[in-house]
Chains A and B, each alone.
Chain A
Amino acid sequence: MTAVRIVVALKQVPDLVEELEPSPEGTDVDREYITFVLNEFDDQALEEALLVKEATGAEVVVVALEDSDVDQTLYTALAKGADRAVKVTGAGASGGWLDTHSRAALLAAWLEGQDFDLLITGVQAPDDLDGQLPAIVAGRLGLPHASVVVSVEVKDGAARIRQEFSAGRSAVLEVPLPAVVGVQAARQAPRYAPISRIRQTMQAGGIEEVAVEAPPPASGFTIRRLYPPEKTSHAEMLTGSAGDVAARIVELLRAKGLVRA
């Protein structure tokens, strides 16, 4: 059996140590003065893929759209042990913010020409809190999909995955390959990439750039306004004796029509 090929999709997100502000147009964060880092769930996905590599000798290919500071992330992935790094370029892949549907469409367009067994990516991202990316990519490629995954093991053409649910429950599933997996957490904390090794990979180059033609917009929605959460109400502290406070509470409830009498 030839080695399993795992593709890990990585995505850059704004580094939250900087204060985010809406752009002048009010439809995106202001991208000019902030730095971008790897989405933390994608970091977990990469770690899980590297664990599979260590266990089975799988090949790990990382792929990312041409987001800000993405080279650093791809080189770091190579330093950690990824075998290849691919940067998807092209009119649709770079520039401003891309919604999850467009992102998934680009990824799927690239993946269609690829020979791979497993796509692993982070289960969610700050701009994809409902975790649509892995599901949409799987849908576009017609592949089985599982999310909220906390462990992936590959054996005999199938992936044994563990999904974590609430209340401490989890399920172990077996998925035939190829498949798409959204990782919640890797089996161990993401490893450290020594700076000297990152620098070595940078000197060696080796990021493959692939232009992918942008598919037509897929989501059908546009952002009208992006803004910090607005204060909609404020708390009023009730002070005084227990009797006073109780009377005030009753008064408030009456005013809101929540109690009669």
Chain B
Amino acid sequence: MTARIVAGAAITAVAFVLAGARLARLGVLIGAGAPAPGRMRGGGRRLGAQIVEVIGQRKILKRRQSGIPHALIFWGFLVLLFTIVEAYGDVFWDKRFAIPGIGTSAALGFLEDLFTVIVLAAVIVFSAIRLVDSPSRRERRSRFYGSHTRAAWFVLAMIAAVMVTLLGYRAAQTNTGDFPYGSWAFASHGIGHLLQPLGRGTNAALETTLLLCNIAAIMGFLVFVTYSKHLHIFLAPLNIAFSRRPRALGPLEVHAPAGATRLEHLSWKQRLDLATCTECGRCQAACPAWNSSKPLSPKLLVMGLRDHMFASAGGNGAGAAALVPDVIRPEVVWSCTTCGACVEQCPVDIEHVDTIVDLRRGLVNEGSMDSGLQDALQNVAQQGNSFGKSQRMRARWTRGLDFEIKDARREAVRYLWFVGDFASFDDRVAESSRTLARLLHRSGVDFGLLYDGERNAGNDVRRAGEEGLFEMLAEHNVEVLRSATFDEIFTTDPHSFNALRNDYPRYGLSKTVRHYTQLLADLLASGSIPVRPLGARVTYHDPCYLARHNRLTDAPRRVLASLGCDLVEMPRHGTNTFCCGAGGGRIWMADSAQGERPSESRIREAAALGVDLFVVACPKDFVMYSDAAKTTGHDDHLRVVDVVELVAEAARVAAPVAPAGDMVAAGDEGGRP
């Protein structure tokens, strides 16, 4: 008995010293980060997140195949915490130790055994997943590419070792008479039967050995966890506790306007992000950059920064290195579309986009960027639009209309239409702007424009890292918006929508911001736009900044339903949409032609559905996908169309080619009173 106590105490003491030292060092390292304002506020919400995300495993269960075994192991470990108490009781107290109150109940015995078996089964599933998606064979296509796979296998082996030793000593206990549970502990008794022939003495020795092995395995695991990517066991609940709420993906923050160029500029939350990453690669699998052969993997970016952070803690001066290009290559940072798929996927709420934008801010502040981006930023700074056209040309698209749109700066309107650069200056998209204007005008909607007062909203300018220019744009636009009289804003561009809705309140904008698809959905529902069913087979592409960043997925679908369209969803839709590749300023940067572009991958995804129309609700999407349909050769059977053009087709008010008389007739047929 004394030997048991000495051995158990020694193992535990060593483990606690090793793990404690490591955790203390991590605490210092993370605590040394720059302030992260607001990350402590909203305790109730944060507690709720612990229940839903940690206990409930919500995000991890989004991927069923690995999510279910993970949740089972997690819940298994919660149940098996009881067995750790029992093991220590057995070592330090009494061989016949039972947890007071519940320690002999059939239910606990059953649950412990059940989860031991389940965890072992889950380990087998995990092993299978790792074998099938092996990075040594599948290379970049594996989500484990670049992850520490040997450490992952070691973790699986450790989990199995804890389970096997647990079952072993419990089985032996059934033969020594020290087991507190009856036959409901089915696995222990089952294996106990097999061990029975060995005799009581051997079983007693086996019990001591396996019990100590169990404690050693648990303690060994504890130490390994703190020194490996498996740290998420401890840090995930913390990272989730301090993540942005209601979602990790949300309005950008500015801790350092000049960006992050060295480790010291990363906030403690950003550092916690780095330490929490478990290298699962879900971000990488969802990333449009990685999937189009770009150098960016959100996972590898986080791992690179994390390794740098750990290296700098050695006091070897590594902290003085430039985050870009010494730690992360600039091409990696510039590949991001800020679509947010990584953050959406990350089960431990790492906020990759924030860190990437901080790195970009650092680069922009040094004037280091792609020449296309530099031209666009200079155009926006000089002319207020990325096209470099005269600001006075902004409302030129309205010339093709046979009515005048109100100037909201001069007369009051119900809706202020914030048109955006592409919908104003790009000839292809301007056509749809006119269509929307005609529809609204005909339905009696009271709306107006800012005309030459409107400037680029700055959403992509900001995400490209030009915070100063974004501020200038926001201040200007808010000032002009304040000089206008209106009730609500609607935008064409989901990017402008995001900026106005999430970024502008800080600059004093407090109006409701809507997207034109919401307006159309309401007008169709109320019968203000009479339509005839189109009966087309269509698919719909959710824009990242509508669906993922702002959870707006319903309105465009309501529009399509009102038009009698048969909507066939792509596998990646709604908040799991796949980026067209244009976001975050990417549309201004040179695109190396290697690999399939995200927009091309998307068109193939849609083409496989056998639909006729690829419906978009974003000007940049229209441009990107019209091109991709051509380059992939699908343009002969898949038409890329803005949702407003479909509404117009159904209402027959659209085409200037249609004679006016025809338009009236169509309206009548549509059931106009």
Q: Which A residues form the contact surface with B (CB < 8 A)? A: 15, 17-19, 37, 80, 189, 191-199
Contact = CB atoms under 8 A, between A and B. Distances in A.
B510 interface: no
B258 A37 contact: no
A196 B377 contact: no
B392 interface: yes
Interface in B454-479: 466-469, 471-472
A199 B468 contact: yes
16 contacts: A15-B382, A17-B388, A18-B390, A37-B382, A80-B367, A192-B369, A192-B374, A192-B377, A194-B365, A194-B468, A195-B468, A195-B469, A195-B472, A196-B467, A198-B468, A199-B472
B550 interface: no
A80 B382 CA distance: 16
B191 to A, nearest CB: 68
A18 B210 CA distance: 84
Contacts of B466: 194-195
Interface of B: 257-258, 364-365, 367, 369, 371, 374, 377-378, 381-383, 388-390, 392, 466-469, 471-472
B365 A196 contact: yes
B365 A197 contact: yes
Given A192-B374, A192-B377, A196-B468, 10 more contacts: A17-B389, A189-B374, A191-B367, A192-B367, A192-B369, A194-B364, A194-B367, A195-B469, A196-B467, A196-B471
A189 B371 contact: yes
Contacts of B382: 15, 37
Contacts of A15: 382
A217 B76 CA distance: 93
Summarize B's interface: helix, strand, loop or mixed.
helix
A59 to B, nearest CB: 20
A192 B374 CA distance: 7
A201 to B, nearest CB: 12
Contacts of B367: 80, 191-194
Nearest to A195: B468
A18 B392 contact: yes
Nearest to A16: B390
Given A18-B390, A189-B371, A195 B381 contact: yes
A37 B469 CA distance: 18
Contacts of A19: 390
Nearest to A17: B390
A189 B367 CA distance: 11
B104 to A, nearest CB: 68
B447 to A, nearest CB: 28
A15 B378 CA distance: 13
Nearest to B369: A192
A196 B362 CA distance: 12
Contacts of A80: 367
A224 B469 CA distance: 43
Nearest to B468: A196
Given A17-B383, A37-B382, A192 B364 contact: yes
Contacts of B467: 196
A196 B383 contact: no
A37 B378 CA distance: 12
